Amino acid sequence: MKKLVYSLVAASALGSSVFAGGDILPAAVFSQDDSDFYIGVGMVYNRTYATESGWFDNATPTQDQTGGLTGIIGYNYNKYIGIEGRISGTFWERDYADLKTYSIFLKPQYRFQEDDTQSDDYDDAYVTVYGLVGFGNSHVEGSGGDNTYSAWPDVIGQEIMSETGFQWGLGVSYTFVDIDDGVRKNTWSVFVDYTMTANDADINSRLYDYGNGKDTTVYHKLSTDGLTVGITYTF
């Protein structure tokens, strides 16, 4: 009787191994690395405007649309929350605004990703939606212009606005996953997001010189925001 019991137990154990791994070896088990530093770079389309704004509309009054670069450094505590710092500056397509921004954000996020780490059938990429909530500085100096127009002559090279305060943003990213020694590790991500870096900041300045010196209006509010497309690398 004892021999029969021992035989049944052995057969059961062997059968479990076969079904778990497809042969007599156990199935592979992987872990997921969710806490990592990352760096990134992006191209940013900025708007600086006093009274009106419009996306990709060169005819919008008081709006200067500029192109620039953003540097990013961040840390994901886990899959739901991170912290991120950004530095951005304009380098081309300036009319009256030479813009620089400095930001530190708390980054709540949600990943559309399978959590089954017990098999090889696992997502090798996933989508994340995220928010950016924090503070920073948005600094505008008068520019001599890269195109037809420029800032009013007496503010070229001078500070028009330096606003430190609340900043926010929304974005989406697509992340590729690699496996290194049994650990699924997030590596490259591509992203696009929107950030509001200054909203109706107080100023006291002329803005555009349209080449005819006729816009003598002194403006009292200025806003800056932007769309960024970029890539990050996680260590």
- Taking only the tens place, the pLDDT of each residue in 164-179 is 999 999 999 999 988 7
Question: What is d(CA 171, CA 138) in angstroms, rounded to the nearest whole number?
Answer: 20
What is the pTM assigned to this prediction? 0.81
Query: According to the model, what pLDDT value does residue 122 have?
Result: 60
pLDDT of residue 20: 44
The string of pLDDT tens digits covering residues 8-37 is: 344 444 444 433 444 443 444 445 555 689
Q: State the pLDDT at residue 25.
A: 38
Q: Where are the domains of the chain?
A: 1-33, 35-234
Residue 207, CB-side half-sphere exposure with 13 Å CA sphere = 22
What confidence score (pLDDT) does residue 116 get?
53
* Spans of the chain below 50 pLDDT: 1-30
Provide the 3-class DSSP secondary structure of residue 98: strand
pLDDT attached to residue 157: 95
184: number of Cβ within 10 Å: 18
Count of Cβ atoms closer than 10 Å to residue 55 Cβ: 10
Q: Are 38 and 235 in contact (CB under 8 A)?
A: yes
Which residues, at least 6 apart from 173, have a Cβ–Cβ distance to it below 8 Å? 127, 128, 130, 189, 190, 191, 192, 232
pLDDT for residue 177: 85
Nearest 10 degrees: Cα torsion 213, 216, 222, 223: -40
State the pLDDT at residue 50.
95
> How many angstroms separate the CA atoms of 143 and 155, rounded?
8
CA-nearest of 85, 89, 123, 122 to 104 is 85
* Residue 227, pLDDT score: 98
For residues 87 and 70, the answer to whether their CB atoms sit within 8 Å is yes
- Would you tell me which CATH number, out of the four given (2.40.37.20, 3.50.50.60, 1.20.120.420, 2.40.160.20), belongs to the domain 35-234? 2.40.160.20
Place of tokens 């305060």: 165
